[in-house]
Structure 1
């Protein structure tokens, strides 16, 4: 009896092992999805979740590399200091103002460029290639180019003004003119990105809709507002999400054009973070500033995603 029981137990174990092996070779859809997504999840945890958690943890410490002292837990001291820091409020306001000006500006210019690129040209590739050039240009390179364009003595903009009979403007000695030059540069640089996304959305609109609208007597403007614009809303929202997040993180163009001057009138929050972490080596306060910028970016993204979900 004992031998028979052991034989039955061994047979059951072999059967269970066979089932597990079959289940491993032919997993269910849910198991297969988990296995396939696991490497991506681990990679995201490694390059996103851990750095963000580390950033938040550092923001609650006093950690200055210039002092040579070890990190000490400070609680919300860095955040309290931030609320009393006028430079933080100024750079945050500059960042928000750049976002409010350049995002709609880039959207309008990008929409116009996309509509032009979608016209029935016989040879389309030169037109569409022209959209790629500003987008492919490095941000710092674009800032240096436009810093030369707006130069008060030998810049192209002032040269055009003088030829038209106007006085030249000393762009980077005035906070208002410097800010305007930066916003114009950012709109030029980012409008091509918006145009490419909108152009991709235009390609998905069936031409039969326009033909039916023409038969019904609808003009170009009515077709645009009743066909083109409603069907482009998903593409526009996607473009706005990416453009708004990058606008909140603006660094390269103001840094290369004005270094934040005059004073801190054109400095952005990203530039202030760079100054505290790289120049002053104050990692605790710089991390707290970075947490605020991260939270601001996530809040804007959440608003856009809620808009998409509501429209869906």
Structure 2
């Protein structure tokens, strides 16, 4: 017998890949589950568990200043909320800020995005100007505009007096203080809207505008028949993010007025902060936070339903 024949006889039969490698041969659905499992676990730890814990705490009377142990009270915190005039005032202020600043930021952001999308020779200064308001911390923006609207040495009153108008004591009047806060929020958040809309503008083919020019369509007609319809997905995404953050408004009113005069400019987030951090009433503060979370989810559901209906 030859050497080659001897080696072939001594070689064990081919049994295929080891058994432990069979788990690698997954179907599409199983592979998707394996790949998404780490992200799902992480989201459960940092989002689902805190929300469930918040809802659980809202059913207890838990005040750290009383020194008493937590006591289960059911829906008592929610019933107290319905009888709390400050809750209704801060909730109304939050809704009003949302109704004013979200459309205002959308209109200003749309104008800024259209301006930044123009064929400038050098576009980076225009687009950089969009990043500056967005990059500023909210509390810092609130401090800046609190100085702008100061009744004695603020820039706004100085401009008004130079134009022949009388200066306004902005933060002593609930209406003027609320207007100053809304203007500040619109300035701060319009750049965020502009960046999202500008990204949408970049996806619109230039060939559509060239064809419209050939057909004799003017700029206004092109905007309403080409630009605006194709921008709807970007606008909806911007509205969802902006509305949720508007319902959670805290930093700018807190830094500008502290909620004053009285509670006329206080928001629901500020009232939650007051109860949980200042008063250490974790039970009632958790119930307030649950309401704000539910309000945010309802608004998001309305937007998503509108998108699905249009599709």
Q: TM-score band (shorter)?
A: over 0.9
Q: Distance in 2 between matches of 1:38 and 1:275?
A: 38
Q: Distance in 2 between matches of 1:65 and 1:26?
A: 55
Q: Deviations over 1:156-176 (max 9, x none)?
A: 000001111111000000000
Unpaired runs of at least 5, structure 1: 1-14
Q: Deviations over 1:41-97 (max 9, x none)?
A: 000000000000000000000000000111110000000000000000000000000
Aligned equivalent of 1:83: 82
Aligned equivalent of 2:221: 222
Q: Distance in 2 between matches of 1:249 and 1:25?
A: 45
Aligned equivalent of 2:171: 172
Aligned equivalent of 2:132: 133
1:111 aligns with 2:110: yes
Q: Deviations over 1:103-141 (max 9, x none)?
A: 000000000000000000011111100000000000000
Q: Deviations over 1:225-250 (max 9, x none)?
A: 00000000000000000000000000
Matches within 5 A, 1:39-188: 39-188=38-187
Unpaired runs of at least 5, structure 2: 1-14
How far 1:265 sits from its partner (Å)?
Answer: 0.1
Matches within 5 A, 1:213-292: 213-292=212-291
Aligned equivalent of 1:36: 35
Q: Distance in 2 between matches of 1:103 and 1:25?
A: 49
Q: Distance in 1 between matches of 2:69 and 2:291?
A: 24
Aligned equivalent of 2:3: none
Q: Distance in 1 between matches of 2:22 and 2:194?
A: 49
How far 1:147 sits from its partner (Å)?
Answer: 0.1
Q: Distance in 1 between matches of 2:130 and 2:24?
A: 49
Q: Deviations over 1:133-155 (max 9, x none)?
A: 00000000000000000000000
Q: Counterpart of 2:295 in 1: which secondary structure?
A: helix
Q: Distance in 2 between matches of 1:181 and 1:104?
A: 16
Q: Distance in 2 between matches of 1:209 and 1:23?
A: 52
Aligned equivalent of 1:4: none
**Structure 1 residue ranges, 4+ long, deviating more than 3 angstroms after superposition:** none
Aligned equivalent of 1:298: 297
Aligned equivalent of 2:196: 197
How far 1:293 sits from its partner (Å)?
Answer: 0.1
Aligned equivalent of 1:12: none
TM-score (norm 2): 0.94
Q: Counterpart of 1:154 in 2: which secondary structure?
A: coil
